[in-house]
Structure 1
Amino acid sequence: MMRNNRLIPFALLVLLSACGGKEEKPKLPTEIPVATTKVERGVAVAYDEYPATAQALKVVEVRAMASGYVTAMSFQDGQHVRKGQRLYQIDQQQIQASVDQATANLRVAEANERLAQKDAERYLELDKNEAIAKQVLDNSLARLETAKLQVQAARANVQQSRSGLKYTTVTAPISGTIGISQVQLGALVTSNQTLLNTLSTDDPMAVDFGVDQKEIMRFTKLLQQKNNPRDSTFQLTMPDGSKYPFAGRLELLDRAVDAQTGTIKTRLVFPNPNGMLKAGMTVNVRVKTDGSGSSLLIPKKALVEQMGEYFVYVVQGDSVIQQNVQTGTDIRDQIVIREGLEEGTEIVTEGIQKLKNGSKVKR
C-alpha cells in the first residue's frame, strides 16, 4: 500500500509538467468590419435660423355701432368672408322708432318755417307802405331765421337716426377669416362698446422675427434686392419640423432698434393659399447665408465628438487613424468640413463604435 501511495504523486507531477510545458500561440489582431466613403466637394447651401411668429397683415375688430339685441348671425366661426358681406343683424325696432320721431320733428319744423316765411313776406309788404312798426318786422324776420335753423337741426337729427338704422346691419370691413363670435343670438350689445368678432386677412401672411443690430446692413441689402418669386433666400420650418412649401420675401425692417434687446423687428411675407399659417403660430425662419457655395462635405454619422473636439477615422491601408477636423454648417444629413481633410480622403462611416486609433479594419 505504501508503494502505491508514492507512485500517485509522482504521476501527478509528470502530468502537470507536461501540461505546463505546452506553448500558447499569439493571437492575431481582429479586423473590424466598417463602411467607408470618400470626402467629396459639393454645393453647401447654408441657412441662419431665427425664431419667428406668424401674423396677419390686417386685423380688424368688428364692434357694434348700434345698440340693441342681436337678431341674426350670417356666418360660421372660422369662415372666410368677403368685404361687405353681412355678419350680424341688430334689432331695428327701437332705432326705427327714433327715425320716425326725428322725421316727424322735421315735418313740424318745416311747417313752422313755412308759416314764418309767410309772416315775414306779409310784414315786408306792409313795411314798404310804412303800415307796420319796424319792431314787428324785425321780430318776424328773427322768427323766420330761427325756424330755418330748427329745420337744419331736425334734418341733421333725421340723418343721424338713419345712420343708426344702417348700423344695425354689421358687414365685413375687409375680406378674410372671421374668428369665434364674442356674442350669441339674443345678446344685448351697446354702440361703440361691444366687441362682436375679429376679422383678419390670411393670404398672404406676415412672419415677424428679431434681427441683431449687427445684421442690419445685411438685411438692408437683402431688402434692396429685387424680389424673385422663385428665390429661396427666405424659408420657413413649421412647428412639427416640416418645411413650408412656399418661399417668402423680405417686406420691411422696423423703424427703430429695441433698446432693451438690441434687435430690430423684421417682417417677411409668405403666400398662404392652403391656410397652413395661422396668426400667432411659432415658426423658424431660415435665411440663406452669403457663404453658401462649394465646400467639403462628409456624412454627419462619420463625425465623432470627444471633449468638445471633433474627429473622423481616416483609412490608411488596412488600419485607421484619428484625424481632428474643424466643422462648419449642417446641411441636412451632411456637414461642412473647414479644416483637417482633403477631397478624396477615405473615412469610416459605419462601425465607428468599435474603433480606436490604429485599429485594423475590413471593408
Structure 2
Amino acid sequence: MKISFPLLSALSMTGALLVSCGKNEAPQQNPMAAAVPVNTYTVTQERVVGTDTYPGTVVPLNEVELRPQVSGYISQIFVKDGQRVTKGQKLYEIDRTKYQAAYNQAQANVRSAQANLNRVQKDLERYENLAKQDAIARQRVDYARADVANAQAQVAVARAQVASASTDLGYSIINAPFSGTIGISQVRVGSQVSPGQTLLNTISSDGPTGVDIVINEQELPRFNRLQQGNQPDSLFTLTLSNGSTYAHTGKLTAIDRAVGLQSGTITVRVSFPNPDRQLVSGMTVNVNVLNQDIGEQVTFPYKAVTEQLGEYFVYVVQGDSAVQQNVKLGTRFQEKIVAREGLKAGQVIVVEGIQKLRQGAKVQVGAPQAGAGAAPAAGGR
C-alpha cells in the first residue's frame, strides 16, 4: 500500500496534538493537593480577670442652676467662684428696697383692716344687745353682721398680701439649696436680672458622684441582675483620662426608664465616692465592669480568629489537616482572647498561614508556639 507524503504529515500532526492535549488535562484528572505551611499554637488555660470597658461621663448626683425669682439688680455677692458652701448659706442679694417697702405696706394694711374689724365687731355687739330689748330695727343688726363679715374678708386679703410681699422679700436673697460647690458666677454686682431667666450660677453637691454609661439593650438583662443581686466591691472600677486607676470602687444605682427607640441603647448610672473631689462634673472616664471571664480560662492568640457572616472560628490541627472550629469569644487582653466555648486546653490551632487555608486542607506544621504564663488582668469589649 502506498501512502502519500502529505497524508503522512497530517497524521503526524494530529497525533502530536492529541499527545499535547493529553498532557494538559492530566493534572486535572489527578490533582495533588500541596500541604500549606503553617505555624501553630497549643491552647492553654490562664488565670484571667476579665472586664468590659465603657466610656462614661461624670455627673453630680445633685446639681441645680440658680436663677432669680424676682427682678432687680444684684446688690451683693456673698461667695467666691468655686467656693464650697453649706445649705442655707447666702449666695446673692437682689436690691431689696422695693420689696421691703411692699412688705411694710402690706403689714400696715393688715393693721388697718384689723382695726376696722374690731370696730364693726363692737358695733355688732351693741346692736345685738339693743335688739334683745326691741330697741332697734332687726335690719340694722343684719347690716352690722354683714359689715363684720366684710371686715373679716379685708383682713384675710391684707394678710395674703403680707405673705406675698414676704415671699418676694425672701426671694431677694438667694441661698444655697444644699451643701456643695458653687461654680463661676455668671453675673456681677449691678447686673440686672429677670425672674426665671437669668442664670446666676450652678451648684453641685459634694459626696458621692455618679458616672453615666450607655449600654446596648442586649446587655440590659445582665445589668438588671447586677442591680438586683449582691454587687462585689470590685465589680465597678474607674480608669481616669490620664490612665490611672481611681482609688474607690462604685455601685450600680440606677438604670434609665426606657431604651432609646433610635439608638437601641439605655443609660446606666454608677455611683462612686468622691472624698477628694477628683471626679468633676463633665469629666470623661472609663468604667470597668467585671464580666464572666474570671479565674482559669481557655486563652489563645487573637490573630488565630477568622470571622465569617458574624460567626468566629479557628483552624484546629487534626493529624495533617486543618479543621474549622466555631468559637464563642470572651474578653480580649493584649494579644490574646478568652474562648468561652469551642476550644479546650491542649488543642493545637493555626496562628500563621490562615489566609491560604480551607476546610480540611493539608498542613505542614512549622515550629509550634508555646502558651505563655499567667495572663494579666483582661479588659475590653
TM-score, normalised with respect to structure 1: 0.71
SS in 2 for 1:45: strand
For residue 335 of structure 1, what is the amino acid of its counterpart?
A: K
SS at 2:200's partner residue?
strand
Label 1:61 to 1:77 Cα distance change in 2 as closer, same or farther (>3 A): same
> What's the offset of the Cα at 1:173?
0.5
Residue number in structure 2 paired with 1:90? 94
Contact 1:202 1:278 in 2 (8 A): no
Aligned residues of 1:123 and 1:140 also touching (Cα < 8 A): yes
Give the equivalent residue in structure 2 for 1:56: 60
Q: Residue 142 of structure 1: which of 146, 158, 162 is its match? A: 146
Distance 1:157 1:59, change over 3 A: same
Equivalence for 2:72: 68
Check the 8 A contact 2:52/2:331 in 1, yes or no. no
Preserved CA contact (<8 Å) 1:227 1:249: yes
Q: Distance in 1 between matches of 2:138 and 2:246?
A: 88
Structure 1 residue aligned with 2:281, among 266, 279, 292? 279
Secondary structure (helix, strand or coil) at the match of 1:217 reads: helix
CA distance in 2, matches of 1:337, 1:193: 55
- Equivalent residue, structure 2, for 1:14: none
Counterpart Cα distance in 1 of 2:330 and 2:145? 94
Q: Which residue pairs with 1:159 in the alignment?
A: 163
Alignment of structure 1 residues 6-85 onto 2, 5 Å: 41-85=45-89
Given that 1:77 and 1:180 are in contact with CA atoms closer than 8 Å, whether structure 2 keeps it comes out as: yes
Q: Deviations over 1:306-344 (max 9, x none)?
A: 999999xxxxxxxxxxxx99986443x56346569859x
1:235 counterpart = 2:268: no
Say whether residues 1:178 and 2:179 are aligned partners.
Answer: no
In the comparison of the two structures, how many residue pairs are matched? 302
Distance 1:328 1:227 in 2: 21
Q: In the aligned structure 2, how far is the partner of 1:91 from the partner of 1:171?
A: 15
Q: Distance in 2 between matches of 1:137 and 1:194?
A: 56
Structure 2 residue runs without a partner (length 5+)? 1-41, 315-323, 352-364, 368-381
Deviation string for 1:45-79 (max 9, x for gaps)? 11112222221111212221333322211212222
CA pair 66-107 structure 1, distance change in 2 beyond 3 A: same
Q: Taking structure 1 as reference, are residues 240 and 123 closer, same or farther at Cα in structure 2, changes over 3 Å only?
A: same
2: distance between equivalents of 1:113 and 1:74?
44
Contact 2:68 2:197 in 1 (8 A): yes
Matched residue SS, 2:124:
helix
Conserved 8 A contact 1:297-1:334? no
Using the alignment, how far apart are the partners of 1:337 and 1:156 within structure 2?
Answer: 72
Answer whether contact 2:293 2:331 (CA < 8 A) is retained.
no
Q: What value does the CA root-mean-square deviation take over the aligned residues?
A: 3.8
For the structure 1 residues 342 and 268, does the alpha-carbon distance in structure 2 shift closer, same or farther, using more than 3 Å as the test? Answer: same
What CA deviation, in whole Å up to 9, does each residue of 1:267-318 have, x standing for no partner?
A: 11111222222222222222111122213668x8xx878999999xxxxxxx
Deviation of the 1:87 alpha carbon: 0.8
Q: What letter matches 2:225 in structure 1?
A: K
Distance 1:215 1:306 in 2: 24
**Paired residue for 1:291, among 290, 293, 312?**
293
- The gaps in structure 1 that reach 5 residues or longer are 1-37, 312-323, 348-356
In structure 2, distance between residues paired with 1:102 and 1:181? 34
Q: Which residue of 2 aligns with 1:216?
A: 220
* SS of 1:160 mapped into structure 2: helix
Q: 2:247 aligns with which of 231, 245, 249?
A: 245
Is the 8 Å Cα contact of residues 293 and 330 (structure 2) preserved in structure 1? no
Mapped contact 2:209–2:272 kept (Cα < 8 A) = yes
State which drifts further: 276-285 or 91-100. 276-285
Deviation of 1:90 after TM superposition, in Å, equals: 2.0
User: Counterpart amino acid of 1:250?
Assistant: L
Q: Residue 261 in 1 paired to residue 263 in 2?
A: yes
Matched, 1:128 2:122: no
Does structure 2 retain, via aligned residues, the 8 Å contact 1:51–1:285? yes
Q: Distance in 2 between matches of 1:200 and 1:176?
A: 5
Residue identity in the other structure for 1:237: T
Q: 2:123 aligns with which of 119, 123, 137?
A: 119
| Alpha-carbon separation, structure 2, partners of 1:277 and 1:76 | 21
Name 2:172's counterpart in structure 1. Answer: 168
Distance change >3 Å, CA 122–CA 307, structure 1 → 2: closer
Instruction: Provide the secondary structure at the position in 1 that maps to 2:136.
Output: coil
Alpha-carbon distance in structure 2 between the residues aligned to 1:123 and 1:113? 15
Change in Cα spacing, 1:276 to 1:181, as seen in structure 2 (3 Å) is same
The 1-side partners of 2:85 and 2:187 are apart by 18
Q: What CA distance in whole angstroms lies between the structure 1 residues aligned with 2:118 and 2:331? A: 89
